[in-house]
Structure 1
Amino acid sequence: MEHIRTGDAGEQAAAAHLKAAGYDILALKYRARTGEVDIVAKHGGTVVFAEVKTRRGGLYGTPAEAVTRRKQEKLMATALCFMKHHGLYDRPMRFDVIEVMLSGNVLKINHIENAFGR
């Protein structure tokens, strides 16, 4: 259960980071039959689908390394569901990864824009 609390804390920190950077949050934990996207935001005219990966240490590599090809495919399919459901066919979209590293009381965020766009 600790990993769930860690993940939730990371997602909250990532959402706050995006808001501070001028993004409009459209959805948190958007779910469709194809999967889940942690954060859906709008930045300018672009719809941004962000996968948040939170780690408390470097034992298992960087957080972004956990976004496998299979995870990317699920994110893309879920993003298409969101775009269709909200009638956003004409909007550009991109996929970001937000790494959140926690070490004691120190939190570090690395926002990777267009992390695996095609």
Structure 2
Amino acid sequence: MNTVQTGDIGEQAATDYLLRAGYDIIERKYRSKIGEVDIIARIKNTIVFIEVKTRRNTNYGFPAEAVTYRKQKKIINTALCYLQQIHNSNMSCRFDVIEVFLTENNKITYNHITNAFIK
């Protein structure tokens, strides 16, 4: 299984996790000229921009460590494009990271980091 397939499995697992937790999924793989946001969801009155990082092991560090400052800035700017697109740049929002761990026996575990970084 290549990294794209692993990432797709992780994003689907994260979507399922969010739905079970009461989130409404607005968009998946939202793209703008600036970048991409894996999942845009809503919980209560907050729009949540979510980066999903999936790993089979921690040999190269924890998944959230791959969300560097540069990646955060790209996500923030993409989120601003989205908010302008829906004509609601004053809506409450936050940025989360969901770490998805795939084990050898096909068990999936999650680490949902809310407010992982700020605008």
Q: TM-score, normalised by structure 2?
A: 0.96
Deviation at 1:41, TM superposition (A): 0.3
| Counterpart position of 2:22 | 22
Query: What is the letter of the counterpart of residue 111 of structure 2?
Result: N
| Counterpart position of 1:43 | 43
Aligned pairs, how many?
Answer: 118
User: Which structure 1 residue ranges, 4+ long, deviate > 4 Å from structure 2?
Assistant: none
CA distance in 2, matches of 1:33, 1:95: 19
Deviation at 1:69, TM superposition (A): 0.3
Listed as ranges, the gaps of 5+ residues in structure 1 are none
CA distance in 1, matches of 2:63, 2:8: 15
CA distance in 2, matches of 1:87, 1:25: 18
| Counterpart position of 2:90 | 90
Query: What is the letter of the counterpart of residue 16 of structure 1?
Result: D
The residue matched to 2:83 in structure 1 has which SS? Answer: helix
Percent of aligned pairs with the same residue? 54
Q: TM-score, normalised by structure 1?
A: 0.97
The residue matched to 1:113 in structure 2 has which SS? Answer: strand
Query: What is the letter of the counterpart of residue 95 of structure 1?
Result: F
Tell whether 2:56 aligns with 1:62.
no
Listed as ranges, the gaps of 5+ residues in structure 2 are none
